[in-house]
């Protein structure tokens, strides 16, 4: 079992075809392996407390990434939100000798750009995974 953690510096997020490149600032892996709870309550459930069973289907979640906005790649932000699925791979550094990876088929559901007066311009990209993710543990 891994006993060390590391900072996120040098993490990458890539797509197999259309995903544009950008300098990552922040990555949130959302709902990774989320399973729904199915209400199994009935008219004679003990003391009126709801009961639940785990659903059969798992939601693979997705990733929200903040990248430095590059005005020279404006068309990339327009075309990334499409119905085309591709494989996205997130690679994170490891405190040991090799990185961990998370790869899954998915598509971009949104792209937004923030242009503050006195700070870096950033874009926020939201990816929705579909199907089972492939994960590889890093080594420590």
SS3 category, 27: strand
Dist CA 95 CA 121 (whole Å)? 30
Dist CA 15 CA 76 (whole Å)? 12
Question: Between 115 and 94, whose confidence is greater?
Answer: 115
What integer pLDDT is reported at residue 20 of this predicted model?
A: 60
Q: Which of 37-41, 45-49, 89-93 shows the lowest mean pLDDT across its residues?
A: 89-93
Give the pLDDT mean for 110-135.
93
Query: Looking up tokens 């020279």, which residue turns up?
Result: 72
């Amino acid at each position: 079992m891994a006993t060390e953690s590391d900072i996120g510096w040098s993490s990458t997020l890539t797509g197999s075809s259309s995903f544009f490149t950008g300098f990552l600032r922040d990555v949130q892996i959302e709902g990774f392996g989320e399973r729904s709870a199915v209400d199994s309550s009935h008219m004679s459930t003990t003391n009126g407390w709801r009961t639940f069973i785990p659903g059969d289907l798992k939601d693979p979640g997705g990733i929200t990434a903040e990248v430095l906005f590059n005005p020279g790649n404006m068309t990339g932000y327009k075309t990334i939100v499409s119905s085309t699925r591709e494989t996205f791979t997130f690679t994170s550094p490891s405190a040991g000798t090799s990185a961990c990876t998370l790869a899954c088929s998915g598509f971009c559901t949104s792209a937004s750009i923030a242009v503050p007066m006195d700070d870096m311009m950033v874009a926020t990209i939201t990816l929705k995974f579909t199907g089972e993710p492939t994960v590889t543990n890093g080594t420590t």
